[in-house]
Amino acid sequence: MKGLDLAVIGAGPAGLAAAIEGGKRGCRVAVMDMNLQPGGQLIKQIHKFFGAREHSAGSRGVDIARRLYRDAEGVGVEILTSCEVYSIQPGNRLEVILTSFGDSNRGHSQSSTYMRRRHESISAKQVVIATGGAENALNFEGWTLPGVMGAGAAQTMANVWRVLPGERVLMVGAGNVGLIVAYQLLQAGAEVKAVVEAAPEIGGYGVHAAKVSRAGVPILTAHTVVRAFGESQVTGAQIARVDESWNPIPGSEQELDVDTICIATGLRPNTRIASLAGCKLMYSPVLGGWTPIHNKRLETSVPGIYVAGDAAGIEEASTALEEGRLAGIAAAVALGKGRREDREEIEAIAARLSSLRGGPFCAERAVAKQEILSRAEAICQKD
């Protein structure tokens, strides 16, 4: 591949939005994603999104993903799947492994040549890192058994690949992910025995909790999973009530007949590529942990490298879309491909972002993002 104006790592909402803005402004853009399909985690979001109309509120994530890659292709963006960026070298040189898969018609089916890996170095004038988030694990007895999985994994299996990941499920964590996936596993035909939440209160939106409750699934606050039973896979779970320090209270244990334990104990920014590229990070508990420091234009401490979406601090798909747009416009402007109306557009996006970070549920995210911007003043280029 020849040199790119803009390389985008990750084809989720942030990455696709950035690529579209770059493409619209005449940049030569490629989006690279390690998965088999573009769309990131939008493709497993089959519920209607919150937000305002500008963020496609009321649409299902999977439909938003379709619109995004149609728009991306419409402005000439190249989308590469099974394409893994494993490093960014100085001068924005991306080290990439492209995997192609042979087909049975060519006699590849049973040979090791079925899977061909090819290495490439790709130079890009500007880079947007939109690598999303990763699910946190939870350590308890039996936590490595097959059948213990991330809630996101169960959601991918059910909603993208149409395979029920288990028949009887315990959901650990009552944040939005835990509540939404519990509901979607019910929709897929599984039985959800309980949602346990170690905190004294439900972390996710009340409307998601209400859907799960209405379906007869108990949401047990101040409860946690103590152990998974099973030799080669999960055959049951033990839960218990916890005290104020989140320690299980002896005598409060209950056993549940489940074959699957889903872990929904938060996400963290996927910062591996950003770290390798030398982007400075800061620790932000509200945003999920180590987060690349970035200025208002989403540019990191390394000039020409931007972050957007969950990779820039865990938020939501709607904020990821807006951050992606901002980063894409900023990258195009840096290449001299800005448009006259860009200044207004940037202000409009910034205003939408602050409205998405309003309200009691999101206020602490707004503060955390502000802290990142403050840190950026000393180490990132001026806005």
Partner 1 sequence: MSEGLGVKGYLSAGELKSAPGIPSEERMRQGPVAVIECIQEIPCNPCEAACPTGAIDIGSPITNLPRLDEGKCIGCRLCVSACPGLAIFMVDLTYSDESATVTFPYEYLPLPEKGQTVRAMNRAGEPVCAGTVIRVQNPRVNDKTPVVTVAVPHRYAAEVRGILRVRR
Partner 2 sequence: MRIKDHPILGVLPEARWVKIRVDDREITAIEGEPVAAAVSAAGIRVHRYTAKRGEPRGVFCGIGQCTDCMMRVNGVPNVRTCITPVVEGMVVETQLEAEPKEFS
Binding site for partner 2 (CB under 8 A): 34-36, 41, 46, 60, 82, 101-104, 108-112, 114-115, 117, 134-135, 137, 144-150, 152-154, 156-159, 161-165, 167, 187-189, 232-233, 270
Site for partner 1 in 23-52 (CB under 8 A): 47-52
Judged by beta carbon, residue 58 or residue 278, the one nearer partner 1 is 58
- Euclidean distance between CA atoms 88 and 63, whole angstroms: 32
Structure-token pair, residue 342: 């860009």
- Euclidean distance between CA atoms 50 and 334, whole angstroms: 33
Judged by beta carbon, residue 107 or residue 218, the one nearer partner 1 is 218
Can residue 58 be called a binding residue for partner 1 (CB under 8 A)? yes
In order of 202, 255, 327, the CA distances from 18 in angstroms are: 34, 47, 6
Q: Is 229 left (phi over 0), alpha (psi -120 to 50) or beta?
A: beta
Which distant-in-sequence residues (6+ apart) come within 8 Å of 320 by Cβ?
12, 13, 14, 17, 130, 308, 309, 310
Q: Which does 1 bind (CB under 5 to 8 A by kind): partner 2, partner 1, none?
A: none
| In the complex, least distance from residue 285 CB atom to partner 1, rounded to whole angstroms | 21
Which distant-in-sequence residues (6+ apart) come within 8 Å of 139 by Cβ?
none
Q: Which does 208 bind (CB under 5 to 8 A by kind): partner 2, partner 1, none?
A: partner 1
Judged by beta carbon, residue 162 or residue 382, the one nearer partner 2 is 162
Eight-state DSSP code of residue 309:
G
Residue 88 identity (one-letter amino acid): I
Taking CB under 8 A as the criterion, the residue among 17, 65, 122, 212 binding partner 1 is 212
Can residue 187 be called a binding residue for partner 1 (CB under 8 A)? yes
Judged by beta carbon, residue 137 or residue 215, the one nearer partner 1 is 215
Q: Which does 35 bind (CB under 5 to 8 A by kind): partner 1, partner 2, none?
A: partner 2
**Do 9 and 270 meet the contact criterion of CB atoms below 8 Å apart?**
no
Binding site for partner 1 (CB under 8 A): 47-53, 57-60, 174, 186-187, 189, 191, 195, 200-202, 205-217, 219, 221, 318, 355-356, 358-362
